[in-house]
Structure 1
């Protein structure tokens, strides 16, 4: 295990830096950063505190600062300490500037302004909270995406991830003994229904762990592999009959599942044009 100090300096929320860092670090086995995250860095006094910390705990410095004076102070301070200092967005900003023939405006936190897209994400999150686990099925026609699947196939976390991305998402559980809401079968093409599934063995383990976390008995039909196998087959047949695409989430993270759903959604939108 290689431990090292990693300073992430941002004039905004730091989400971009942390996401890029996470994506990069998975390529290095055994790398274990001790992260020092500095957000909303917009004054020289803040930079003084950051540089003091870098002196005490030297390591790689990554930053997203758009103000030239702030950038220069940070870079010179790191140079004095002898640590690498990298502006992670510079190559992307340069490419956009050259392609568009425009100079960047250097406005910190611009992507987090309270604009139409921001309020759209809030609306999507509110919708998803109200339509989780089959609630308010009469409003399904308002959804952009509806996820269906048997219990514990990551419908809820995937729905909320999609909502965070701005997609109004509902999810409906498939239980063989309980009829699905009629509204689900009357949706127009503007609403995409996607089935989520996983292997019966994996599903049994997930459900068993869920019951154990709730201090409940695990000797029930809910975790029985043969019963679960019947549930999974029933759900797959239903999706095939209705023409709903199915995604196997067995080896996918929520982010990967959501990315595939967004791809399907965008493809359908393009075909409708």
Structure 2
């Protein structure tokens, strides 16, 4: 039976190996658990034919919450990984795992120790850490509001307030990339390139805002658009998925990027996360010259 007070996430895979080894991994965090979950997935991905069943315990900040987590851990033995900061809760978790004879791994300790040795400083107090997290939180919320208000060409009157504007034809992952960037505290808006409709003039007058053009192969774009139409139960043929029309869209978009001197990111084989990482590299590294990132 799955306990109600935490989330269990089964392995995410479309082609599970026939002889895959499944195991339980318990992720215990006093925060949202996003960092811990990302680290655990990155580690598990290094092993072939191994698929974790994730048990996620977020916002564990009291002994009562920890006791409930330990009870569930006992029911599904496996590996315990945590990012608990409070000394008392850490000791209680480690002691509980010792009694259950289960490995208990503090995910951030090696990195924190290495940084502490290099800098010659001890870690900051919990209160200070929370203040920094609060500032980051409000920055992310502000960026998220901006992304929502400037999606698909909306809010064109204040594009200059963005850190970055993504430009591209339909279905080049502009919106999800902007949302992902917002969660990193980056103000990102996007402007679609629509055949027969010129982009807003204000886009060409931006001085301090990074503008990035998104490109994609015609075959991949047609596939994405066709899947989109199928999800909407629209099976009719149109210029939206016509090979010649799509190729012309992409050619015209690339010509625009070249004329404006905007850096270009090819999203053909990129995930949203990889596209966002490429944008962040451009933001951090300057963008004085055209750069095509394949």
Report TM bin, short chain: over 0.9
Match of 2:176 among 149, 153, 157: 157
* Match of residue 236 from structure 1: 254
Moved more, 146-155 or 50-59: 50-59
Structure 2: 5+ residue runs without aligned partners?
1-19, 290-294
Q: Is the 8 A contact 1:147 1:195 kept in 2?
A: yes
Give SS of 2:56's match: strand
* Residue in structure 2 matched with residue 215 of structure 1 by the alignment: 233
What's the CA shift string for 1:153-191, capped at 9, x where partnerless? 001111111112111111111123111111011110x10
Greater alpha carbon shift after TM alignment, 127-136 vs 43-52: 43-52
State the partner residue of 2:9: none
- Structure-1 separation of matches of 2:50 and 2:26: 15
- Cα drift, residue 120 of structure 1: 1.9
After the TM superposition, which residues 56-75 of structure 1 pair with which residues of structure 2 at under 5 Å, given as runs?
A: 56-75=75-94
Report the aligned-residue RMSD.
2.0
Q: Distance in 2 between matches of 1:199 and 1:270?
A: 25
Q: Structure 1 stretch 249-258 or stretch 99-108: which is displaced more?
A: 99-108
In the other structure, the counterpart of 1:267 is: 285
Name stretches of at least 5 consecutive residues in structure 1 with no aligned partner.
Answer: none
Closer, same or farther: CA 135–170 of 1 in aligned 2, 3 Å: same
CA distance in 2, matches of 1:108, 1:114: 10
Seen in structure 2, the aligned counterparts of structure 1 residues 218 and 26 have a Cα distance that, compared at 3 Å, is farther
The aligned counterpart of 1:52 is 71
CA drift of 1:112 comes to 7.7
Q: 1:95 aligns with which of 114, 128, 139?
A: 114
* Comparing 138-147 and 27-36, the one that deviates more: 27-36
Structure-2 residue corresponding to 1:258: 276
What displacement does 1:101 show?
Answer: 2.6
Write the distance in 2 (CA, Å) between the matches of 1:262 and 1:118.
19
Distance in structure 2 (CA, Å) of the matches to 1:217 and 1:182: 35
Aligned equivalents of 2:67, 2:145: Cα separation in 1 = 41
Does structure 2 conserve the Cα–Cα contact (< 8 Å) formed by 1:66 and 1:106? no
Contact 1:11 1:108 in 2 (8 A): no
Q: Would the aligned equivalents of 1:67 and 1:106 in 2 still touch at CA under 8 Å?
A: no
Deviates more, 1:176-185 or 1:24-33: 24-33
Alignment of structure 1 residues 193-204 onto 2, 5 Å: 193-204=211-222
Query: Within 5 Å, which residues of 2 pair with 1:167-182?
Result: 167-182=186-201
Q: In terms of mean alpha carbon deviation, does 72-81 or 230-239 score higher? A: 72-81
Distance 2:252 2:51 in 1: 44
Aligned in 2, Cα 1:51/1:101: closer, same or farther, shift over 3 Å?
same
- Decide whether aligned partners of structure 1 residues 192 and 227 sit closer, same or farther in structure 2, where only a CA change above 3 A counts: same
Deviates more, 1:102-111 or 1:147-156: 102-111
Distance 1:52 1:199 in 2: 51
Q: Does 1:192 align with 2:240?
A: no
